[in-house]
Amino acid sequence: MTGTQIVPGERAIALLGGEANDANLRRYLHGIPGVDAVGLEQRAAGLGTRSIKTTSKAWALDRIIGLIDLTTLEGADTPGKVRSLVAKAVTPDAADPSCPRVAAVCVYGDMVPHAVQALGTAHGDPDQGKIAVAAVATAFPSGRSSRSIKLEDTADAVAAGADEIDMVIDRGAFLAGRYGQVYDEIVAVKEACRRADGTYAHLKVILETGELNTYDNVRRASWLGILAGGDFIKTSTGKVAPAATLPVTLLMLEVVRDWHRLSGEKVGVKPAGGIRASKDAIKYLVTVAETAGEEWLTPHLFRFGASSLLNDVLLQRQKMTTGHYSGPDYVTID
C-alpha cells in the first residue's frame, strides 16, 4: 500500500478537461455544492450519539489501535525519544501480547533513520501487520519556505526510508485563491515521493482546517488535495487550534465518498490532533463506517494522528478484559 501508482496530476486533467490552472480549478471547486454548517454539525453530533457496546466496543478499541499513527513532533525530539516511541508502537501493552500494533510512527524527517532502525523487522506495511514510518515534510507545520526546500525535505525523508509523507498545503496561497499554486506544489511533492524503483511513498495532504476556517474551504481544499494526487487527506498538523473535529472529518469523508462514486478510487482520511479519548475515537469510527463505508476502516484508508489516545484506548481495553477500571500506572509512558 505504500506504493500506490497514481501518477501526479492525472486525476485533475481528466476531471477538469484542461490544465489545472487557477481559473479552471476555481471554476470546478466553486461549482461544488456548498456546506450548511448547522446541518453538518448536527449530523456529526447525531453520529456521535451512537452507542458502541460490548463486542462492538472491543472490536472498535482494537481497530483504533491499528489505525493510529503514533506521533512525536517536538523540537525536543531525540533518537532516544523516537526509539521509545517505536517500542510503544510495537508493544502498546506490555502486559497483553494480544494487543495489536499501531499502523505507523510519525516523526520529523531527520528522525526517520532512527525510527527505521528501531523498528527493524517490524518495519513494513500496516496491512501486513507491520509498522510504517511516516515523516512530516514540506517545512511542517507552517509550510513557509521555498518550494525547492520543501521538495528536498520530502525527498530526503523518502530516501531515509519514510513510507509515508505528511505534507502541508500552502494555506496562504489557498486563501488567496491561488489554487493552481497549491495544486502544483502537491503534484511536485508527490513527484518527490517517487523512489528509485518508480514506486511512490504514500502522500498525506494536510489541509490545516483550523486555518482554512470555513467548511466550504475545507471541502474545496479536500477536492484539491485529491485532484493533485494525494493518497490521504489529513485535517491538521496538531499545531493549530482547532485541530481535528468530528464535523470537519465528516465533511472530508463525504468528499472521499463522492470521489469514490465519481472515479472508483479510494482516498484515505486522517484526522489528527485533539483526539485523546477512546470515546471520541469511537465516534470517528462510526462516522467513517456510516459515511464512506466500513471498508474504509483499514490502515490504508483511515488513520488517527495521535499520541495520548493510545494509552486511553489501552485503559479501556484493560477494563473490557478485566472488568474493572484501570489507572494510568498500568499503561506505559513512552
Partner 1 sequence: MSFLEYAPAPESQAILNLRDSYGLFIDGEFREGHGTPFASISPATEKHIATIAHADASDVDAAVAAARRAYDRTWSRMSGADRGKCLFRIARLVQERSRELAVAESLDNGKPIKESRDVDVPLVAAWFFYYAGWADKLDHVGLGAAPAPLGVAAQVIPWNFPLLMLAWKIAPALAAGNTVVLKPAETTSLTALLFAEIVQQADLPPGVVNIITGAGETGAALVGHGDVDKVAFTGSTSVGRAIARSVAGTNKKLTLELGGKAANIVFDDAPIDQAIEGIVNGIFFNQGHVCCAGSRLLVQESIHDEVIDRLKTRLSTLRLGDPLDKNTDIGAINSAEQLQRIRELSDVGEAEGAERWTAACTIPENGFWYAPTIFTNVSTSHRIAREEIFGPVLSVLTFRTPTEAIAKANNTPYGLSAGIWTDKGSRILAVADKLRAGVVWANTFNRFDPSSPFGGYKESGYGREGGRHGIAAYLKTAAPTVALPSATARKTVSKGATK
Query: Which member of 270, 280, 283, 312 is catalytic?
Result: 270
Which residues lie below 8 Å from residue 321, measured CB to CB, with a gap of 6+? 96
Smallest separation (angstroms) from partner 1 to the CB of 312: 20
Can you say whether the dihedral through the CA atoms of 158, 66, 11, 250 is positive or negative? negative
- Shortest reach from residue 114's CB to partner 1, in Å: 35
* Nearer CB in complex with partner 1: 18/39: 39
Is residue 69 part of the annotated active site? The answer reads: no
Q: Whole-number minimum distance, CB 194 to partner 1, in Å?
A: 35
φ/ψ of residue 131, rounded to 5: -120, 130
Identify which of residues 42 and 145 has a Cβ nearer to partner 1 in the complex.
42
CB closer to partner 1 out of 30 and 144:
30
| Angle between helical axes of 37-47 and 278-291 (0-180°, round to 10) | 110
Of 49 and 128, CB closest to partner 1:
49
Residue 334 CA to residue 84 CA, distance in Å, equals 5
Least Cβ distance, residue 122 to partner 1 (angstroms): 26
Q: What are phi and psi of 6, to 5 degrees?
A: -80, 120
Q: Is 234 annotated as catalytic?
A: yes
CA angle 181, 111, 285 (to 5 degrees): 70
Minimum CB separation of residue 262 from partner 1 in Å reads 11
Among 163, 166, 184, 280, the one annotated catalytic: 166
Q: Which residues contact 173 (CB under 8 A, 6 or more apart)?
A: 179, 181, 182, 185
166 is catalytic: yes
Nearest to residue 273, comparing CAs of 314, 245, 302, 311?
Answer: 245
Residue from 88, 150, 234, 283 carrying the catalytic annotation: 234
Dist. CA 237–CA 210, nearest whole Å? 9
C-beta closer to partner 1: residue 35 or 306: 35
- Whose cell is 472508483? That residue is 264
Q: Which residues bind partner 1 (CB under 8 A)?
A: 33-36, 38-40, 42-43, 49-57, 59-60, 63, 254, 285, 289-290, 294, 297
State the catalytic residues: 166, 234, 270
